[in-house]
Structure 1
Amino acid sequence: MAQGLARQWNDWGIQILVLMSFTLQVLLLVFAETRRRKSPAPVRLLLWLMYQLADSTAIYTLGHLSVASSKARDPHLLAFWAPFLLVHLGGPGTITAYALEDNRLWLRHLLTLLVQVLAAAFVIYKYIKDGSTLLLLAAMLVFVVGILKYGERTLALWRANSSSIRSTLKYPDGEKEFNLSHWRKLRWPYPRKDQDNGDEEPPRKDQDDSSTIGDEELPRKDQDNSTIGDEEPPRKDQDNKSIGDEELLLGAHSLFHICKSMFADATLYLSKFNGDCSTRYASKDLFGLVEMDMSLMYDILYTKAAVDHTWYGYTILVFSPLATAAALMLFHYSSDKRGGGKANVGITYALLSGTLALETISLARAIGSTWACALMYCCGWERLLGAVTFLRRRTKAASKRRWSGSMGQYNLLHVCTRDKTELGNRLAAMLGLQNLWNKVHYSGTIPASAATDIKDRLLKATGLNAGHTRGVGTLETMKIDRNSAYLTYSSVTNDSFDDSILSWHIATDVYLSQSKMIGHQEKLVAAVRVLSNYMMFLLMAQPEMLPGPIRQGQYADTCNELDKVWDKCLADRKQGAVPDRGSPQKWWSMLKKLFQRDKPNASRMPQIKELATKLLSTIHNDADNDEEDPGFAPVFFLIARPAVEGPRLAEEFLAMDSDSFLEGIFYVWLEMLCYASHHCDRDSHARRLNNGGEFITVVWLAIHQQQHIGTVG
């Protein structure tokens, strides 16, 4: 049997590899866009496997062709497949890098390009030069397409590095020169208005005014002064402001240099041009604007957008399907086709027609993209722009570029009140993977609607924009006395950031379960829980998004201490009670719980309240009384640990409890989030864009955009 499989592989191995390489290109084109929004872990794993296999399969097959083609039945046809593998190495325009680190390997891809081009040229020269002229011409056309596609990918990887992005942010001297240069780079302050907007067109000044683009340089307007693609009315929000997603996306293009300067850590040029753009768009939908900018930044970092939407990029996009179509016609009339086997001829037709389809799709996607719409707008191509925008509105292309709205959630008290007898917990304990199981099984996400109230309050907040403090500003604004709230002030000034998050997370849950002043503030309570759980999720699952050092050992020790307290609660509950063994669980019920995530929710609020009560009672124990309460370590031993500091903080909160105190807790958490976003490494923000982006990145961009409005305005 083994010999039979080996024989079959020798006969059909190259054919299988070539078809596999092409199939991977199709799958990457289809599924790569899922990274723009948060996708499940299995989808991300599958996409990673396809990304890794695509390059390795094409390289291995190309090397195999250079050796095995001479032994094949149709060496001319098999050699004709070599340039298609170059095209496959170029990859689809929807993905160039899977991770941010891939962009830094552009030199490796350049070297691979040179080696693989030489390998493909060798195969063509050795096996096709003596064949028919038509087949040689077809091979040369596909060969040129392959070089251009792979070179395009390598250039896109190079342009996605911080140094390359920073080099594009060169600001000329003088306001007028700044305006003119940025307008030519698809940035402009005043796009078309909609008659229902209620906004008046800003007066256009004379050309001699150094702060305004000259009249002849302004974008052209429709005679009816209507918004592009007026098939869909602009969205209305509660403040009676209106702006459509397509117009907002154009605004994101006009301010994209601000976003790029932040990700590249470059100095930002302040100008009235930027101020006018920011005021117009950010005042309508600040978070929508930065979400669109995040999507554009994703294009620069992980796709070919930085190269595709240039004059040479459009040239390649147009040339590739035309050259492939010509190669298809040349092969159809080639004499080598008639002497080949039916299977090999069929595979060649499949490669030619499939490549033609993929290249045509890539061209259509580029023409229908927001980058092309921005170019059409600047060039004044009204009819073409109207047709493309009509199709984009029908498919809601602009709205799909908004942030996915997914915020991670993780709650310590929820985890510590888990049922340790469940199958998943027992298996994790046996394998020593309890921390990993808790991280995966007990974390969850919330929809975008839960972040709406947080966004609204962030816009109205004052004193949060600097991002240099992590709560003390809010406490001082509330006029909380330092002497009576020493621990509260110390937790946001003296403690390390991870200790602050752990302590405030525990204190928040304990306070919410014990306070009698929050009964009529359900919406604010939900917002506080969301922020507290989100910061805990970042500390546990995305520590690179927080200013360091983030000590995972501190988090694990805190979990262990809370587990001891909950074990004591269970022991107290069972004293004097008849043991309740409960009804035996069915095996399918156990398996269902094993694969069903236990996300933070309200289902275990009674248990959390019981644990909170026990925590408050425990902190009053002296070291001499630790024998009476063996479920918790002595206070003097844990005096600097969050497991003790959290309940003590909650005790101070309850002592200061009032109708407005909950709002103060919310703004402390918000200030912590702003602090973390400001001090997070730029690369960490960029890395998360390939999985939908994080809310902390949205906050970071929104804060800086708001600062820009205030500075320039």
Structure 2
Amino acid sequence: MDVDGLSVRVVALWNDWQLRSMILLSLWLQIFLTIAGSRRKYTAGIWLGTLVWLAYTSADPLATLSLGTITRNQGGSICTTKNESITPAFWSSMLLVHLGGPYTFTAYAVEDNELWSRHVLQLLTQLSMSFYASLRSWWSMDPLRYLAIPIFIAGIMKYGERVLVLWLASSNKFRDSANEERKLLREQLDHKISRDELDNRDTTRYDEVLGFDGIRPEAKHLHEAHFLFRTLKLLYGDYLVTYPTHMISSYIILKSKSAAEAFELIGVELGFMFDVLFTKAMTGVFWRPRLFLRSINFLLSASALLAFWIMARNSKAYSEIDITISYLLLGGAVVLDIYSVIWMLLSDWTMLWLSKQRKPLPESICQFIYSSRWLSFLIHKKRWKESMNQHAIHKQIEQRIPMGNLFSKGHNFRRWKDDVDCGLEELIFKRLLDMRSRYSCQDDQKMILAERGDHALENYNRCSEKFGWSVVDIDFHESFLLWHIATWFCHVGHTESPLVKVSRSLASYMLYLRSDMPFMLPKEMGEAKYMSTSVEATFQVEEGQTEGSVLSDGRSLASALDLLETEDGWSDETKWEMISQVWVEMLTFAAIHCGWKEHAKALSQGGELLTFVAVLMSHLGINEQCIYK
């Protein structure tokens, strides 16, 4: 075959399919982001996170590049239609819809919300390019040019809503919204519930003041979670939480709730926060006009699809390929809108609104949804998957091999997931209730928030003297690294009792946070120092060196813990009870010393147990932002 002839064919093929392939890829990215955008709310994972990031960072540039290609080649040989300038102009309006993004996904991270002003400029630029492409084809007699109008309007509305949502979720606007929420809470609570009622724990009027009376039992947890979300907005906005507000939050958490129910309630609350920060959920003061515009948007897309079907059926002016692509674009837009409507109708926001109305029709809809097993399953499926990532310091330790072969060569660190079971939730909840019971003044609060294992040791005879050096005399990062090593040494050869499992899981979870989510941990240790410590531990593990500061201290701590059984007469259960309490104390210390921006950053990746603990602590008043009296 002639090389020149082959190159000509390749160039011709590229000219024919360059724009088509980019537009189809843009549609596929919108479909993926729509589905993955709702899944990442409750599912964390490296693969999902990586794919979402790639799709998110590629979607806008790809749509912009496609739109630029249409504008640049307007009137050129882009496709094989008889009306070559019409179909690309029609596609340019569809690309504007793609730039508006899916309803389930607006930002990959909280920092993206700060770029709303950049999107305003991009909106104006893309509008100009799409308008130019449509204008160039307007003088044609082909009726397809009229179909570009409703799609163009739909694209403006969709992109405009995206900019609006990004602006509402930006830090300055969110803080303004939190300030308004603070005023509303003061008006609702501070002037309606007396100090005596709060001090005496007189909760008889709480439900009445909160407006929970008459709410369907199935939906009451949504109203409780939404009130807690309003309080969380204050914390995220860096405002203080008044005494009545956090006392009523505590009442909601503690009222006839087990630890599992409390964690589930926090999951719903964090779902509200996720929707506000990362999606186009119908929230805030603009939800009614947005709902109206979204309905118009769907009608425009559906009517354009119907009109195109009528025109394409009676016209031979376009190639079958371009007609098929146009069907995919219009049909994809309609299907994605339908998916988003279903997502919106089954969202906690809609169920919250319906259960507030107390009218026959909303009541009937609520009854139908909650009585339907399938719909109820879909609602509850959109919750945090109660799991936590694990990071073991050495693969062989987990396999419970003999002590002598513990540090054999050729093995790397290992990551996996573990469930957050009821036993762990109960242990955390018990710890938080103990912290809350010891409050008497603001000074107590500071002392209690500084506990990172020392209080747990004080509860056991002479343990503070023996092990205090490992939690008080060294910085926090080195402390939990030593306890991680000691826990794994102690764990080898033991049966998997509930306390052993809890201790092992928390030890591995804290190391995962340090390795993969370091921004969530206190900045006591410099990054360079931590890296040198980690490299040293890794080198010693891989080279079989058991002598050295990190490993030897951890092993010495493990030996001292084992002596509690052989010399002090402790039972195995008592020893692991103390170890588990030390780990829970370290967890609560890390949780409350992590900033809310960092918690929100983790929320975009599926959520962390650390965030659940921090939110739960704050609602119980265990936070410096909570005014005690």
Q: The TM-score by the shorter chain falls in which range?
A: 0.7 to 0.9
**In 1: Cα distance, 2:15 partner to 2:394 partner:** 60
* Aligned partner (choices 501, 507, 516) of residue 532 of structure 1: 507
- Provide the residue aligned with 1:554 in structure 2: 533
**Is 1:506 paired with 2:490?**
no
**In 2: Cα distance, 1:295 partner to 1:130 partner:** 50
- Provide the residue aligned with 1:142 in structure 2: 151
What SS does structure 2 have at the residue aligned with 1:267?
coil
Deviation at 1:405, TM superposition (A): 1.5
- Provide the residue aligned with 1:364 in structure 2: 342
**Does structure 2 conserve the Cα–Cα contact (< 8 Å) formed by 1:467 and 1:671?**
no
Structure 1 residues 136 and 384, CA gap change in structure 2 (3 angstroms): farther
**In 2: Cα distance, 1:632 partner to 1:346 partner:** 67
**In 2: Cα distance, 1:498 partner to 1:334 partner:** 68
Deviation at 1:505, TM superposition (A): 1.6
**In 2: Cα distance, 1:352 partner to 1:508 partner:** 58
- Provide the residue aligned with 1:91 in structure 2: 101
Deviation at 1:471, TM superposition (A): 1.2
Q: Deviations over 1:28-78 (max 9, x none)?
A: 222332312334433333332222222122111111111223124421222
Which one has a bigger Cα radius of gyration?
1
- Provide the residue aligned with 1:68 in structure 2: 73
Q: After superposition, where does 1:38-437 map in structure 2 within 5 Å?
A: 38-72=43-77, 73=81, 74=83, 75-131=85-141, 135-169=144-178, 170-171=180-181, 177-178=187-188, 202=204, 212=209, 221=214, 227=217, 244=218, 246-271=219-244, 275-276=247-248, 278-283=250-255, 284=257, 285-305=261-281, 310-331=287-308, 337=315, 339-388=317-366, 390-391=368-369, 393-395=373-375, 396-415=377-396
Deviation at 1:690, TM superposition (A): 2.6
**Which amino acid in structure 1 is aligned with residue 159 of structure 2?**
Y
- Provide the residue aligned with 1:702 in structure 2: 616
What SS does structure 1 have at the residue aligned with 2:449?
coil
Deviation at 1:128, TM superposition (A): 1.9
Q: Mind listing any 5+ residue stretches in structure 1 that lack a counterpart?
A: 183-200, 206-210, 228-243, 420-428, 568-630
Deviation at 1:317, TM superposition (A): 1.5
**Is 1:492 paired with 2:471?**
yes
**In 1: Cα distance, 2:164 partner to 2:70 partner:** 27
What SS does structure 1 have at the residue aligned with 2:471?
helix
- Provide the residue aligned with 1:673 in structure 2: 587
Structure 1 residues 663 and 139, CA gap change in structure 2 (3 angstroms): same
TM score, norm. by length of structure 1: 0.72
**Which amino acid in structure 1 is aligned with residue 37 of structure 2?**
A
CA RMSD of aligned residues (A): 3.5
**Does structure 2 conserve the Cα–Cα contact (< 8 Å) formed by 1:532 and 1:669?**
yes
Q: Deviations over 1:476-531 (max 9, x none)?
A: 2335365x42xx212211211121011112222334458xxx88x92222222222
Q: After superposition, where does 1:472-483 map in structure 2 within 5 Å?
A: 472-480=454-462
**Which amino acid in structure 2 is aligned with residue 314 of structure 1?**
L
Q: After superposition, where does 1:22-33 map in structure 2 within 5 Å?
A: 22-33=27-38
**Does structure 1 conserve the Cα–Cα contact (< 8 Å) formed by 2:114 and 2:171?**
no
> How many corresponding residue pairs?
569
**In 1: Cα distance, 2:190 partner to 2:12 partner:** 67
Structure 1 residues 180 and 654, CA gap change in structure 2 (3 angstroms): closer
**In 1: Cα distance, 2:412 partner to 2:369 partner:** 45
Deviation at 1:318, TM superposition (A): 0.6
Q: Deviations over 1:93-133 (max 9, x none)?
A: 1111223332232222221111001111111112125445x
What SS does structure 2 have at the residue aligned with 1:164?
helix
What SS does structure 2 have at the residue aligned with 1:349?
helix
Structure 1 residues 282 and 712, CA gap change in structure 2 (3 angstroms): farther
**Does structure 1 conserve the Cα–Cα contact (< 8 Å) formed by 2:282 and 2:349?**
no
**In 1: Cα distance, 2:316 partner to 2:212 partner:** 57
**In 2: Cα distance, 1:513 partner to 1:415 partner:** 10
**In 2: Cα distance, 1:58 partner to 1:481 partner:** 63
Q: Mind listing any 5+ residue stretches in structure 2 that lack a counterpart?
A: 1-5, 193-202, 401-408, 437-447
- Provide the residue aligned with 2:41 in structure 1: 36
What SS does structure 1 have at the residue aligned with 2:417?
strand
* Aligned partner (choices 636, 644, 647) of residue 552 of structure 2: 644
**In 2: Cα distance, 1:160 partner to 1:176 partner:** 23
Q: Deviations over 1:575-613 (max 9, x none)?
A: xxxxxxxxxxxxxxxxxxxxxxxxxxxxxxxxxxxxxxx
Q: Which stretch shows the higher mean deviation, 76-85 or 98-107?
A: 98-107
**In 2: Cα distance, 1:330 partner to 1:174 partner:** 48
**In 1: Cα distance, 2:252 partner to 2:475 partner:** 40
**In 1: Cα distance, 2:190 partner to 2:435 partner:** 34
Structure 1 residues 405 and 136, CA gap change in structure 2 (3 angstroms): same
**Does structure 2 conserve the Cα–Cα contact (< 8 Å) formed by 1:248 and 1:281?**
no
Structure 1 residues 415 and 167, CA gap change in structure 2 (3 angstroms): farther
**In 2: Cα distance, 1:138 partner to 1:385 partner:** 40
Q: Which stretch shows the higher mean deviation, 702-711 or 682-691?
A: 702-711
Q: Deviations over 1:394-438 (max 9, x none)?
A: 23133223321121223325457999xxxxxxxxx9xxxx9xx83
What SS does structure 1 have at the residue aligned with 2:378?
coil
Structure 1 residues 297 and 173, CA gap change in structure 2 (3 angstroms): closer
Q: Which stretch shows the higher mean deviation, 29-38 or 286-295?
A: 29-38
Deviation at 1:458, TM superposition (A): 1.9
**Does structure 2 conserve the Cα–Cα contact (< 8 Å) formed by 1:416 and 1:559?**
no
Deviation at 1:89, TM superposition (A): 0.6
Deviation at 1:342, TM superposition (A): 3.5
- Provide the residue aligned with 1:545 in structure 2: 520
Deviation at 1:79, TM superposition (A): 0.7
Deviation at 1:385, TM superposition (A): 4.7
What SS does structure 2 have at the residue aligned with 1:438?
coil
Q: Deviations over 1:211-237 (max 9, x none)?
A: 937xxxx57848xxx53xxxxxxxxxx
Q: Which stretch shows the higher mean deviation, 92-101 or 693-702?
A: 92-101
**In 1: Cα distance, 2:166 partner to 2:522 partner:** 28
Deviation at 1:366, TM superposition (A): 1.6
Deviation at 1:85, TM superposition (A): 0.5
**Which amino acid in structure 1 is aligned with residue 556 of structure 2?**
R
Structure 1 residues 547 and 204, CA gap change in structure 2 (3 angstroms): closer
**In 2: Cα distance, 1:154 partner to 1:460 partner:** 44
Structure 1 residues 411 and 203, CA gap change in structure 2 (3 angstroms): closer
**In 2: Cα distance, 1:686 partner to 1:17 partner:** 34
Percent identical: 26
* Aligned partner (choices 427, 430, 438) of residue 460 of structure 1: 430
- Provide the residue aligned with 2:441 in structure 1: none
